[in-house]
Amino acid sequence: MMGNSKKVFIKTYGCQMNVYDSARMEDVLKPLGYEMTDGPKDANMVILNTCHIREKASEKVYSELGRLKNIKKRRDEENEMIIAVAGCVAQAEGEEISRRAPYVDMVFGPQSYHNLPEMIAKAHRAGNEQGRGVLMTEFPAEDKFDHLPAPTKPEGYSAFLSIQEGCDKFCTYCVVPYTRGAEYSRPAEHVMREARELVAQGAMEITLLGQNVNAYHGDDGRGGEWTLGRLIRELAEIDGLERIRYTTSYPAEVTDDLITAHAEVPQLMPYLHLPIQSGSNRVLAAMNRDHTREQYLETIAKLKAARPDLALSSDFIVGFPGENERDFEDTLDMIRQVKFILAYSFVYSPRPGTPAATMDLQVEAAVANERLQVLQQLLKDVQAEFNNDCVGKEFPILLEREGRREGQLVGRSPYMQPVHVKAPLDLIGKIADLKIIEARQNSLGAELVNVERKHA
Ligand code: SAH
Ligand code: SF4
Ligand code: F3S
């Protein structure tokens, strides 16, 4: 297999951690002679890197598998296609996948990507009556990150870096603790090395990833541990790393140390994704979130005292079991108070094996959908207000690529808004001061003020 070119198509669902993992799988597959391709048609192997978070997300996988089955059927022995299911659905459903889709050859969970060469060899040895029956869904004791090759930076100036994986919070609606396992922090030195490599390859912005990233406590190799705050301070010393972000954080674990980092580290962007899920204390308690709305607001007040230009985004679940109109009003009130500049919102989806799935008082779908509409309209209004308030202000913008219009570049503001500006091509890969002159629902228009300003 080595040397002769085979093609692999990796389709990624779900969160940024899956995006990161898919890139790592590419890094494992390239030395085996696999080239990336962007569709199943010419692929010798298709990997679906799946998400189990809501029912819709996992059902998508089965409809995609249905389509792949037809392609696989038309292939001959010379030009066979291996179908693999990776990620959180693989971890949660394991053999069930082979039962529902017997033509699937490999099923493996998020902790086993470094074993891909071994799994592929096994699949090649197996006969292909139906699927090849390769299954790997244990949580191995060793650190998969230790066994993965050095990362290649993706195109562009922005890179993800997973520093923490798994979750011990057990929110009553959530599958992540079951699909990703217990909380694990990568050793500090490994993270630093990977960050330096990414910057050496041209990354100007790094987003630190973890299901519960602010719980990071990486071994420092000297019997101690680094907090996320410490890690951010050390990363800020890397020459050429202009922007640092981290996601996703758990509100009850935003420490004073982390808040101080927001005050002290200019490279740390004034934008934080801090999911609240609900504005009602009753619902938060039923969700097993370890904080009240008051504590959440207090944390935000502290963050804003440290970094006055800080803005927040969030996630919301509506229609959680037992949620009534008053609870929902509390959520709307929360949005009005905090003025989240962006939010992802979902109707509660009961997940097999989670405590909330069997709670009494499941909310009717029609009611939940109605609430979602109201919530999303409010979020849209609040976002539009923020974007409008940006008009007239100047921001440092990392110019990333050409826009669709002639002479136009696209960048991202500290708040992640896409910004369009007329500017010369050689400004790509630079941070420029731009004045915002126009606001749209999801993007901004700007004019060039000044080039080559460093840090926010
Ligand atoms: N670790 C992150 C989020 C992980 S999942 C955190 O704690 O915030 C991403 C989002 O999906 C969650 O914030 C939540 O809003 C949503 N989500 C998770 N489980 C869900 C479920 N069963 N139904 C609907 N939305 C869900
Ligand atoms: Fe899921 Fe809660 Fe953990 Fe986030 S903190 S991953 S919502 S269990
Ligand atoms: Fe989905 Fe797994 Fe991420 S369930 S949201 S892909 S951790």
Each residue of 412-442: pLDDT tens digit? 999 999 999 999 999 999 999 999 999 999 9
Residue 287 within a domain: yes
Counting ligands in written order, the one closest to the CA of 274 is 1
CB of 163 shorter than 6 A to ligand 2? no
* 76 vs 100, residue with greater confidence: 100
Where does the pLDDT of residue 3 fall: very low under 50, low under 70, confident under 90, or very high at 90 and above? very low
pLDDT for 1 equals 43
The answer on pLDDT for 285 being more than 50 is: yes
116 shares its domain with 150: no
Ligand 3 centre to CA of 301 (Å) is: 30
Ligand 1 centre to CA of 203 (Å) is: 29
Counting ligands in written order, the one closest to the CA of 167 is 2
Residue 428 within a domain: yes
pLDDT, tens digit (0-9, with 9 covering 90-100), for 190-203: 999 999 999 999 99
CB of 15 shorter than 6 A to ligand 3? yes
130 shares its domain with 148: no
pLDDT for 147 equals 79
Ligand 3 centre to CA of 177 (Å) is: 10
Ligand 1 centre to CA of 404 (Å) is: 34
Q: Which atom of ligand 3 is nearest to the CA of 175?
A: 4
Mutate to test the pocket of ligand 2, among 164, 211, 296 (most ligand atoms within 8 A of CB): 211
Pairing label, strands 431-439, 444-451: antiparallel
151 shares its domain with 127: no
pLDDT, tens digit (0-9, with 9 covering 90-100), for 141-189: 567 787 788 788 778 899 999 999 999 999 999 999 999 999 999 999 9
CB of 11 shorter than 6 A to ligand 3? no
CB of 53 shorter than 6 A to ligand 3? yes
Residue 389 within a domain: no
Q: Domain containing 422: what range?
A: 394-453
Average pLDDT over residues 75-83: 86
CB of 315 shorter than 6 A to ligand 1? yes
Using CA positions, which residue lies closest to atom 7 of ligand 1? 250
368 shares its domain with 412: no
Q: Tell me what percent of the residues of the chain surpass a pLDDT of 70.
A: 96
Q: Final residue of a domain: which of 101, 136, 171?
A: 136
Ligand 3 centre to CA of 61 (Å) is: 13
Closest CA to 213 of 226, 200, 196, 223: 226
Q: Final residue of a domain: which of 91, 108, 136?
A: 136
pLDDT for 418 equals 96
80 shares its domain with 128: yes
Ligand 2 centre to CA of 348 (Å) is: 14
- Point out the annotated binding site: 15, 51, 88, 167, 171, 174
Mutate to test the pocket of ligand 2, among 176, 180, 289 (most ligand atoms within 8 A of CB): 176
Name the pTM for this structure: 0.93
201 shares its domain with 345: yes
Q: Supply the CATH number for residue 18's domain.
A: 3.40.50.12160
pLDDT for 71 equals 93
129 shares its domain with 148: no
pLDDT for 229 equals 98
Counting ligands in written order, the one closest to the CA of 19 is 3
Ligand 3 centre to CA of 14 (Å) is: 5
- Which has the minimum average pLDDT: 145-149, 233-237, 316-320? 145-149
Residue 388 within a domain: no
Q: Which atom of ligand 3 is nearest to the CA of 18?
A: 6
- Point out the annotated binding site for [4Fe-4S] cluster: 15, 51, 88, 167, 171, 174
- Which has the minimum average pLDDT: 72-81, 164-173, 245-254, 385-394? 72-81
d(C-alpha 100, C-alpha 62), whole Å: 8
The answer on pLDDT for 284 being more than 70 is: yes
Mutate to test the pocket of ligand 1, among 15, 19, 212, 315 (most ligand atoms within 8 A of CB): 315
CB of 320 shorter than 6 A to ligand 1? no
91 shares its domain with 223: no
Q: Final residue of a domain: which of 80, 107, 136?
A: 136
The answer on pLDDT for 453 being more than 60 is: no
Ligand 2 centre to CA of 104 (Å) is: 29
pLDDT for 142 equals 63
193 shares its domain with 328: yes
Residue 61 within a domain: yes
How confident is the prediction for the chain on average, in pLDDT? 93
pLDDT, tens digit (0-9, with 9 covering 90-100), for 342-383: 999 999 999 999 999 999 999 999 999 999 999 999 999 999
Q: Supply the CATH number for residue 434's domain.
A: 2.40.50.140
Closest CA to 191 of 180, 183, 199: 199
CB of 171 shorter than 6 A to ligand 2? yes
Ligand 1 centre to CA of 383 (Å) is: 21
Residue 301 within a domain: yes
The answer on pLDDT for 4 being more than 70 is: no
370 shares its domain with 335: yes
Average pLDDT over residues 52-73: 95
CB of 317 shorter than 6 A to ligand 1? yes
154 shares its domain with 235: yes
* 154 vs 14, residue with greater confidence: 14
Residue 184 within a domain: yes
CB of 274 shorter than 6 A to ligand 2? no
Q: Supply the CATH number for residue 215's domain.
A: 3.80.30.20
215 shares its domain with 267: yes
Average pLDDT over residues 119-128: 82
Where does the pLDDT of residue 452 fall: very low under 50, low under 70, confident under 90, or very high at 90 and above? low
Residue 387 within a domain: no
Ligand 1 centre to CA of 315 (Å) is: 7
The answer on pLDDT for 215 being more than 50 is: yes
Average pLDDT over residues 333-341: 97
Domain count within the chain: 3
- Which has the minimum average pLDDT: 116-120, 169-173, 213-217? 116-120
